[in-house]
Amino acid sequence: MSTTSTPGAIPPVETTIAGLRSHLDAARASGSTIALVPTMGSLHDGHLALVERATELAQTVVVSIFVNPLQFGPSEDFERYPRDLDADRDALTGQGVAAVFAPAADEMYPNGPSQTRVTAGAVGSMFEGRSRPGHFDGVLTVVAKLLGIAQPDLVIFGQKDAQQVFLVQRMVRDLDIRSRVEVVETVRADDGLALSSRNRFLDERHRRAARAIPDALEAAQSAADRGIDAVLAAAQGVLMGADDVELDYFSVVRTDTFQPVDDDHRGPARALVAARVGDTRLIDTELLHLG
């Protein structure tokens, strides 16, 4: 499917809301469908898989690169989060991207942190939300702003951030936003580790230790036909025996409510794991079918 970008071209960067809207209004007037890929930059092959899917589904693809301060707590790594717009733009060269939207914080929040927020509700205070209070309110607020700015036909997310995906999908339904949410399966490195911008903080020792996370999910999947107790025992057996891995949570939730499954649950469910490996916090997920 063709795009409005020139093959092999470095995508132009729009830094203002007005500039992006003008760009997309022209694309829309020509009959193009529009896909948005929201990112915080530090792009890797996982992000490029989202872009590839976007180019399969829409003629005009825009990638947003914005490290959103609203989703970082006071003790989190906002300042440490990697930023390299030139490298990100290079990574997107030849990928069929029509524009990169890279606003400064004062473009997105001209009067400081926005006083109007989208709240994530009870699910937003569980799992990642318990470890990072207010995180998902910040995520949903910036995603709602990006959808309002770009008004895309579809928006692309990666499944690795499973709780974020669930909450964005629910927000789109609850607020009658016309954009369709497309989810791309987790992209993994050769050693099984889910691709993440934070992986670069792992030294060789901690990279080896982090293998316990996908190994635990694999063990959970192998035990799924024996029910939830077997799943939890299998996963925790891997994680508890791993050096340099500090488990935050391992849980299995219903796919329709994101609530922990009952003991007698049968059918699809999603395993969630978060752990700190050295100084780096990693998350991962896998779809299970409990027997």
pLDDT tens column, 261-276? 999 999 999 999 999 9
Query: Comparing C-alpha atoms, which of 205, 156, 149, 170 is closest to residue 55?
Result: 156
Mean pLDDT of the chain: 94
Question: What is the Cα–Cα distance from 34 to 47, expressed in whole angstroms?
Answer: 17
Query: Comparing C-alpha atoms, which of 184, 227, 234 is closest to residue 212?
Result: 234
- The CATH superfamily label for domain 13-184 reads HUPs (3.40.50.620)
* Average pLDDT for 277-284: 95
| 67 touches 197 (CB < 8 A) | no
Query: Comparing C-alpha atoms, which of 263, 259, 264, 280 is closest to residue 272?
Result: 259
> Does residue 146 register a pLDDT over 90?
yes
35 bridge partner residues: 61, 154
* Average pLDDT for 182-204: 95
Which region, left, alpha or beta, applies to residue 55 given φ > 0 means left and ψ of -120 to 50 means alpha? alpha
CATH architecture for the domain at 197-290: 2-Layer Sandwich (3.30)
190: CB partners within 8 A, 6+ apart: none
Structure tokens at 114: 């926005």
Task: Report the largest interatomic distance among the alpha carbons of the chain, rounded to a whole angstrom.
Answer: 58
Per residue in 39-65, pLDDT tens? 999 999 999 999 999 999 999 999 999
* Average pLDDT for 206-230: 97
Q: Which residue has the tokens 């990006």?
A: 146
> Does residue 14 register a pLDDT over 70?
yes
Q: State the pLDDT at residue 5.
A: 54
| 283 touches 272 (CB < 8 A) | yes
* 44 among known catalytic residues: no
* SS3 state of residue 125: helix
Q: State the pLDDT at residue 4.
A: 55
| 35 touches 62 (CB < 8 A) | yes
Band (pLDDT 50/70/90 cuts) for residue 7 is: low
Instruction: Say which of 47, 135, 206, 265 is annotated catalytic.
Output: 47
Is beta strand 245-253 parallel, antiparallel or unpaired with respect to 267-277? antiparallel
Per residue in 71-121, pLDDT tens? 988 767 677 777 899 999 999 999 999 999 999 999 999 999 889 999 999
Amino acid, res. 221 = Q
> Does residue 289 register a pLDDT over 80?
yes
Q: State the pLDDT at residue 27.
A: 96
Please report, rounded to a whole number, the percentage of residues in the chain having pLDDT higher than 70: 96
| 132 touches 76 (CB < 8 A) | yes
Kindly list the domain boundaries of the chain, sorted by start residue: 13-184, 197-290
Q: State the pLDDT at residue 1.
A: 37
Q: State the pLDDT at residue 2.
A: 38
Residue 195: other Cβ atoms inside 10 A: 17
Question: What is the Cα–Cα distance from 233 to 219, expressed in whole angstroms?
Answer: 9
Residue 196: other Cβ atoms inside 10 A: 24
Query: Comparing C-alpha atoms, which of 291, 255, 246, 254 is closest to residue 273?
Result: 246
